Amino acid sequence: MLQHPQVQGPGVGLLGFSKGAEVSLAMAAFLKNITAVASLNAPVAATCIPFSYKDKVIPTVTLYEHKAKPTNSKFLDYSDVIDDPFRAPGNQSRIPVEKAEAQLLFIVGQDDRVVKSEYYATEVCKILQAQGKENFHILSYPGTGHCIDPPFFPLYPIGSHPVFHKRAVLGGELRAYSKAQVHAWSQVQAFFKKYLTVN
């Protein structure tokens, strides 16, 4: 990416959603030249597939499908199925985001029914703050579920769970989701412009 003619350098920015945000945070923790990461509803732990870089391996977090909760709509809420990477012994599955030198923007939906994204972002930022880091910011949107798309995308409150392949509640309410789309997208653009533009 650094060799691409449209990349100004010296680093690159990453925008990731869900699993993509998880991968983006892992890249920032281990790779140089990652300048800025915008993370949308990330689990901040290795899910499904372990991360491996050189001699370091981050094992996958345990998923408990039996913890999925039925909702009034007869679809499942999966927000509690991931073992808490902040409470698990040794935090083996948690991505060591505190190693990242990049600027970090966590965008989270307060009604995310797939991942406890607001909780994860808050907990990881407590770790960063305890280490004297100031390279993070959280944008939290009430009434917004797992999907925070660019403006004018339709709301998908129900979808297929990416791991269990069953119909799942993604969360979100139309008006709040629409407002979050517009605001979050402008914030992502401003974030990358601030940290990726060469003066």
pLDDT at 163: 83
Low-confidence ranges of the chain (pLDDT < 50): none
Residue 183 Ramachandran class (φ > 0 left, ψ -120 to 50 alpha, else beta): alpha
Tokens of 144: 């917004």
Residue 18 appears among annotated catalytic residues: yes
146 is catalytic: yes
Of the candidates 24, 117, 146, 161, the residue annotated as catalytic is: 146
How much is the pTM?
0.93
pLDDT at res. 89: 64
| Spatial separation of the C-alpha atoms in residues 118 and 138, rounded to whole Å | 9
CA 125/CA 110 separation, integer angstroms? 16
Please give the pLDDT value at position 93.
92
CA distance 13 to 105: 11
Q: Nearest CA to 141 among 94, 98, 181, 189?
A: 181
Question: Which of 18, 39, 79, 178 is an active site residue?
Answer: 18
Question: What pLDDT is attached to residue 199?
Answer: 63
Instruction: Clarify whether 183 is annotated catalytic.
Output: no
Contact, 148 vs 118, CB < 8 A? no
| pLDDT score at 88 | 64
Can you tell me which residue has the tokens 């407590």?
126
> Which of 24, 112, 117, 178 does the annotation list as catalytic?
112
Q: List Cβ neighbours of 68 (8 Å cut-off, separation of 6 or more).
A: 76, 77, 78, 80, 81, 164, 166, 168
Contact by Cβ (8 Å): 172, 155:
yes
CA distance 78 to 112: 9
pLDDT of residue 177: 94
Lookup: tokens for 16:
């990731």
